[in-house]
Chains A and B, each alone.
Chain A
Amino acid sequence: MAECADIQELLPLYALDALPTETQEEVELHLETCAVCRAAADVELAAVSRLALAVPQFDPSPALRERILGATRLREVEPLRPPASMPVPLAAIRQRRGVRQVPFYWVAVAALVPLMLTAWLGTQVMSLRRSVEATVASEQRALASAEVAADIIGRGLHSGTGGGTAQVVGTDMAPDASGMLYYASNQPEGVLTVAGLPSLPKGQCYQLWLIQNDQWMDGGTFYEGEGKGMLIVKAPMPLSSIDMIRVTMEPHGGSPEPRGNRYLWARLKSS
């Protein structure tokens, strides 16, 4: 019974989730086997749940309802996967990003990265070149983007400062979309490549947002062709200092602040 008295002393803090994790778990263990304390905990939890209403009430934007209902019309989000056009070895590298203490392996990987990126970008450039041959001025701009992309990545990889990548993931609005953001450390430039995007309605574009400390900054706009898109990112600060990116659909030319649905996101810095 002494234990019950001790536990019940802690229940208001338990209900507020204000106990250190270990103590919180001890209380939970006790509650699983003690109906008396469980009932007392339920009373505390009910009181705490009322606190959730003690806040000024605001409406979310009308677009949120559409976003949620839109997501329910789409199929379930698939597990994260590398973009279909990426060479397999690079995907393997990404999967091992969390692994530590494999210096030899990393040395080998580091040596291979420029080669693989160059090969992959070469494929992209060739693919885009074929498209250009099929005419259309917008595709000529895409080829130029691919070549600039190769230049930016090349400079980053050969400057000795290294580079970074972030896997870009589709939201529920674009469950088939995925891509990569490539950037050189300490450089404000990078390249975003995506595939699997929904076709843009007339008068719309995709807009990239760079998010740092919850501040959203315009990262440029782009259009998709057959679901694929590429953007040369020019940020006001090194991309390695950005927390996260998101891509929304906005009216042609972009918006001063994000207003449309979100289609892609990636986390750059671990928070």
Chain B
Amino acid sequence: MDPASAADQELVTRVTAGDQAALDELYRRHSRPVYSLALHILRDPATAEDVTQEVFLKLWRQSESYVPERGALGSWLLSVAHNRAIDVVRRRRLREEYRLPGSQEVGDVVADGSIDPGDAAGIAEMARTVRSALERIPPAQRQAIEMAFFQGKTHVEISDELGEPLGTAKTRIRLGMRKLRSLLEAEGVEV
């Protein structure tokens, strides 16, 4: 276990014991990626904040739901945020074109003291690596993956929307994910 994960685990143990300062510290470490993912999926800052709040209150109230053996805390928080945001999207039956609201990127963010700058740098670096890998996937494969992950669409919906045979949509997702894995591994990212 790397030092950051070990520190997270210790904080989770304190959260389980009702230590609010530990939750605050975990919020400093992880709120930015959690909120960013929710915002990217939902495109609405207020709802993205609601989802972020749900994620951290779930950690506060049900920290035993996180099983360290199954992965890092950051991944778990993102997974909870993703599931919740996709639930919202599916309920809304969002079908409009995907577009981010105008706002500043991490590099332009003015620190407000609530987000840990050291963690932000590490997350920004990882985000750049993953984005770069995603951009190197053939566009049709990337599109299918993004429709599934960020818009919560099934391969049936993707094939309908793109007007392509079901098998083509499946193949694009499969090949795209294989390519993504190999690119991330080449960059030294554990997958």
| A residues at B contact (CB < 8 Å) | 9, 12-13, 15-20, 43-44, 46-62, 64-65, 67-69, 71-73, 76, 172, 214, 216, 258, 271
Contact between B86 and A59 (Cβ–Cβ < 8 Å)? no
Residues of A within 8 A of B12 (CB): none
Contact between B37 and A55 (Cβ–Cβ < 8 Å)? yes
Residues of B within 8 A of A16 (CB): 145, 148-149, 173, 177
Contact between B184 and A62 (Cβ–Cβ < 8 Å)? no
Closest-by-CB residue of A relative to B132 is: A54
Most buried by A among B103, B127, B178: B127
| B residues at A contact (CB < 8 Å) | 20, 23-24, 27, 31-33, 35-37, 39-40, 44-49, 52-53, 56-57, 60-61, 71, 75, 78-79, 81-82, 86, 91-92, 100, 103-106, 109, 112-115, 120, 123-124, 126-127, 130-131, 133-134, 145, 148-150, 152-156, 158, 170, 173-174, 176-178, 180-181, 184, 189-191
Contact between A51 and B145 (Cβ–Cβ < 8 Å)? yes
Contact between B173 and A172 (Cβ–Cβ < 8 Å)? no
Determine the distance from Cα of A72 to Cα of B19 in the docked complex, in whole angstroms.
Answer: 10
Closest-by-CB residue of B relative to A10 is: B170
Q: A53-B33, A65-B31 are in contact. List 12 more A-B contacts (CB 8 A).
A: A17-B152, A46-B191, A49-B71, A50-B184, A50-B189, A52-B33, A55-B37, A56-B106, A57-B106, A59-B31, A71-B53, A72-B20
Given A55-B40, A60-B52: A43 and B91 within 8 A (CB)?
no
Contact between B100 and A56 (Cβ–Cβ < 8 Å)? yes
Residues of A within 8 A of B71 (CB): 46, 49
Contact between A68 and B181 (Cβ–Cβ < 8 Å)? no
Distance (whole angstroms) from the CB of B187 to the closest CB of chain A = 10
Determine the distance from Cα of A62 to Cα of B113 in the docked complex, in whole angstroms.
Answer: 9
Contact between B56 and A68 (Cβ–Cβ < 8 Å)? yes
Closest-by-CB residue of B relative to A214 is: B44
Contact between B57 and A48 (Cβ–Cβ < 8 Å)? no
Contact between B155 and A69 (Cβ–Cβ < 8 Å)? no
Residues of B within 8 A of A258 (CB): 46
Distance (whole angstroms) from the CB of B72 to the closest CB of chain A = 9
B134's partner among A12, A54, A216 (CB-CB below 8 A) is: A54
Determine the distance from Cα of A216 to Cα of B50 in the docked complex, in whole angstroms.
Answer: 15
Residues of B within 8 A of A19 (CB): 154-155
